[in-house]
Amino acid sequence: MKSTQDLTNKHILVLGYAMTGKSVVDFLVKQGANVTLNDRGDLSTDPSVSFLIEKGVTVVDGGHPLELLDGELDFIVKNPGIPYSIPILKEAMKRQIPIYTDIELSSRYAAGSIVGITGSNGKTTTTALLYEILKNRPSGKAHLAGNIGIPTLDIVQTATDSDIIVMEVSSFQLEGTEQFHPQIAVLTNIFEAHLDYHGNRENYVNAKLKLIANQTANDYLIYNYDQPELHELVADAPSVKVPFSVANVDEYVRSQGVYVEDGVVYYQGKDLFETSLIQIPGEHNVQNVIAAVAVAMIEGVDLDSIKAEIHKYQGMPHRIQPIGEFGGRRYYNDSKATNVTATITALDSFEEPIVYIGGGLDRGNTFEELKAHLKYVKVAALYGETKEKMRESFVEAGVPVVEVFETLEEATAFADREAEVGEVVLFSPSCASWDQFKNYEIRGETFVEAVKQLNK
């Protein structure tokens, strides 16, 4: 671990004590900082908190009192999910107290290099596959970290100079950065998402672009050339640009990037492998795979290893995850589809008749964009806060059967009854999970279990 700033006796406030918060507090205590931990919940029953108190950590729970900002305070490290709109953070910004997320500290103290991967969709698939491929790089270890569920500071403390950290980073994490500097940046795409957190699309896009804000001419930027908006957004980046494309291949991409032509993947004109090697469905996943290939080629991984890992890779749980064929019907769990764009990607991955299940938290958005992608949907089972709003769009799109339910289990039971041989049952909610579930993982597991119980 490198050291760019001595944290000894620095006064730091940590907001939130979920998985990330625990990692942050542990790291700061080891660096000798004076840490105050604050969480709006009740921490009195958490045994790890008693241990922290013994280590000298001040613990304040049950709310976020503004008094925490009084006195000496060097900076705040917040859980990425905590919005900047809460009073204590608004007051901190007014007082010009720096507010960071864990990836900012990780970048400052990480030995070796960082591959930072972000995008509205596809970042988790790209990150997970790339990690498997980079295990085969010529020297050093590959580490997986970030928004994929592994706190970055846990990895930073053990990574060496020759290692590489493959880091999925969200807009929530990037918003709290200042010096974050991945030596290789991957931008899978940018669509409209998380507007309830960022306020508007411009703020969301600006947060995503913090991925490349500190790159230099010695760094690399792999970006989606099939999305014209990105051409302009990355135009001024000083890093070496490596475009990837499956639908917009031109001479620039052929000379500088990774691309698909006639079912073959190429890197800067070199024939690598046929797209039939890729096991996960959908054109979007071809994009994810070739983005990972670009990084692997830069890192010098041999082609046979790249091909072997791609062929083995079956995708991530909750991301158009095949969960089985029952009675001639194929079932897919796409619980990670927390926005309309992700669901469009899922719908466009199939040409069979679809029995669709969706719904969830109402974030104030409409579902108009889904209409053009419902041509294969014969039945829709909708639930949760958005069920009536979604029903209106599905009926207007001409879906033959549209029914609404209170719960996911009820919607799944109806879909199971309606699905016929040769059809796809697709759970791709198009909404966040928080109206009925703690997170999309629990939601996806609930769907999978319901399907298995219905088809015993």
Is the pLDDT score of 316 beyond 90? no
Tell me the per-residue pLDDT of 261-298, one tens digit each, with 9 for 90 and over: 999 999 999 999 999 999 888 888 999 999 999 999 99
Contact, 162 vs 143, CB < 8 A? no
Question: Among 290, 83, 338, 81, which residue's Cα sits nearest to residue 192?
Answer: 338
Query: If you average pLDDT over residues 314-330, what whole number do you get?
Result: 89
The answer to whether the CB of 5 falls within 8 A of the CB of 74 is: no
Looking up tokens 């807009």, which residue turns up?
171
Tokens (6 digits) for 279: 């096991």
Q: What is the pLDDT of residue 267?
A: 98
CB–CB of 109/268 below 8 Å?
A: no
pLDDT digits (tens, 9 = 90+) for 399-455: 999 999 999 999 999 999 999 999 999 999 999 999 999 999 999 999 999 999 999
3-class SS at 182? coil
pLDDT at 177: 98
Of the candidates 120, 119, 163, 121, the residue with the CA atom closest to the CA atom of residue 145: 163
By DSSP bridging, strand 401-405 and strand 270-274 are unpaired
The structure tokens listed for 387 are: 């069920």
Phi and psi (nearest 5°) for 47?
A: -65, -30
- The model's pLDDT over 98-151, given as tens digits with 9 standing for 90+, comes to 999 999 999 999 999 999 999 988 898 999 999 999 999 999 999 999 998 899
Torsion of CA 150, 31, 77, 95, to 10 degrees: -170
Q: Do 164 and 142 meet the contact criterion of CB atoms below 8 Å apart?
A: yes
Helix, strand or coil, per DSSP, at residue 99: strand
- Terminal-residue alpha carbon distance, the chain: 51
Task: Report d(CA 276, CA 270) in Å as an integer.
Answer: 17
Q: What is the pLDDT of residue 122?
A: 87
- Quick one: CA dihedral 273, 276, 281, 284, positive or negative? positive
What CA–CA distance (Å, rounded) separates 93 from 87?
10
What does the pLDDT read at residue 319? 87
Do 334 and 346 touch, CB atoms closer than 8 A? yes
pLDDT in tens, 206-246: 999 999 999 999 999 999 999 999 999 999 999 999 999 99
Half-sphere exposure of 312 (CA within 13 A, CB side): 11
| Proportion of the chain above pLDDT 90, given as a percent | 87
Decide: helix, strand or coil at residue 258.
Answer: strand
Task: Tell me the pLDDT band of 3, cut-offs 50, 70 and 90.
Answer: low
Q: What percent of the chain has pLDDT over 70?
A: 100
Sign of torsion over alpha carbons 420, 422, 423, 427: positive
Phi first, then psi: what are they for 12, rounded to 5°?
-130, 135
> So what's the pLDDT on residue 406?
97
Q: Is the dihedral of CA 338, 344, 348, 352 positive or negative?
A: positive
